[in-house]
Amino acid sequence: MKYLLLIFSLLYAVPCSAQDVFEKKEFVVEITGIIDQTTTDEILASPWKVVSDSKGHIFLWDRKFTSIRVFNRQGEFIKQIGKSGRGPGEFREINAMTINDKDQLVVYDRYLLRFTVFDNLGNEIETYSLPEKNLITPWRLQHSPAAGYFMVYKRFDQLERDEVNKPALHRITNNFSEISNSLVTLAQIGDPEEPFEQLLFGAYPTLNFTLLRNNEIIVAPYVYRGNLLVYEQKNGEWRRKEELVGTPLPSEPYKTFSLNKSRNEIPPGARLINGANDRRAGIIFHESVALFEMKDSKVIHFVFFRDDENGSYLAAEIYNKDLKLIQFGRLKNFEGSRDASYSITWLDNDENFYVIDRSDQQNPRILLCRLKEL
């Protein structure tokens, strides 16, 4: 009998999974800065990329303008960098921006197929073109002093079936001379056998990622299925280390719709995606928006959720330094679909996250925000 009691006790002593112990809450968002028509005479038409350096300079790329504009944290315009053209320090269309460990602005132009590095005064330092065999289109860019630049590329065509094992995340050497490592295959982050996902991989960046201080990488698939992936470097190669358990999902990640219906019969929020030989519609219920490491080694993952009870809302998952989910909740006053309303592009040294707010499409703005009581 005592052995049965011992077994019974051990069964109930098994620790709970992360899904059982994380705290559910509503995060209060404190707005610490705004760039809009009340703070500057500069027009914000289609803000696309935003980053900032350690001195508080905010670099904004707007698709309707031909230069990068620089603001301070009070939203006041300081200067512009570059202009339209093909010469040194000039742009056609910027696809990716970041700040490196030297506090320099690094941008990638997808039409000119080159990286340009600027100092903190906006002076062009150097321009680099990748070797022709490596011509891909970076969409998200992040720098590690030890490992170099990492980038997610965005395709502009339909995924072919033989490409499911091709990687989506690439490491570029610090001198931009070559792509030295590649990791995260499309088959690891989604279901490329599904026709809708084949088109989706061609139309949208496939993942978010962040570089940790211990030189590991966390990856969040764009179509979020409730799990993150951790990669580490072993013997010069990057390999998957573990899978993190995230928030339990209330439904399937997406639902597709027949295009035999009229456009008015397709639900609001559905994506119409065109491929070379195909066209499909689908509504994505759970989307990864952004992923960052905080100063205390916590990781914050922003996700858009859609469910019948709450509609569409922006939420945050908080993971502790051991990468266990400890908190999840919606962000107060941030409702709406991702494409129509909000995108998150940057986390600065003071742990403000930068939101491009398109909820008023005639007057978009940049919000500097902080989550209270993390």
Report all structural domains of the chain as residue ranges with CATH numbers, in order of start: 19-371 (2.120.10.30)
Sort 6 into a burial class: Cβ within 10 Å, 0-12 / 13-18 / 19+: exposed
Confidence at residue 106, expressed as pLDDT on a 0 to 100 scale: 95
Q: Is the pLDDT score of 133 beyond 90? A: no
Query: pTM for the complete prediction?
Result: 0.88
Question: Which residue(s) pair with 232 in the sheet?
Answer: 239
CA dist 171 and 179 (Å) reads: 6
Predicted local confidence at residue 336, as pLDDT: 56
pLDDT of 140 above 80: yes
Phi then psi for 104, rounded to 5 degrees? Answer: -100, 145
Find the mean pLDDT for residues 100-129: 90
Segment holding 69, helix H or strand E: strand 68-71
Higher-confidence residue of 32 and 136: namely: 32
The pLDDT, as a whole number, for residue 332 is 86
Distance CA 282, CA 98 (A): 32
Q: For residues 113 and 122, is the Cβ–Cβ distance under 8 A?
A: no
Which is nearest to 169 in space by CA: 244, 238, 245, 215? 238
How open is the CA angle 329-335-340, to the nearest 5 degrees?
Answer: 130
- Within 146-219, residue ranges assigned H as helices are 186-189, 195-203
Buried b (16+ CB within 10 A) or exposed e, 279-315: ebbbbbbbbbbbbbbeeeebbbbbbbbbeeeeebbbb
pLDDT in tens, 310-367: 778 899 999 999 999 999 999 987 765 555 578 899 999 999 999 999 888 888 999 9
Bridge partners of 185, per DSSP, are 167
pLDDT in tens, 47-91: 999 999 999 999 999 988 888 999 999 999 999 998 888 888 888
The distance from CA 87 to its chain's CA centroid, rounded to whole angstroms, is: 30
Beta strands in 112-261 (DSSP E): 114-118, 124-128, 138-144, 148-153, 167-172, 179-185, 207-211, 217-221, 227-234, 237-245, 254-257
pLDDT of res. 317: 96
pLDDT per position as a tens digit, 150-171: 988 755 455 555 566 678 888 8
DSSP-derived pairing of the beta strands 90-91 and 83-84:
parallel
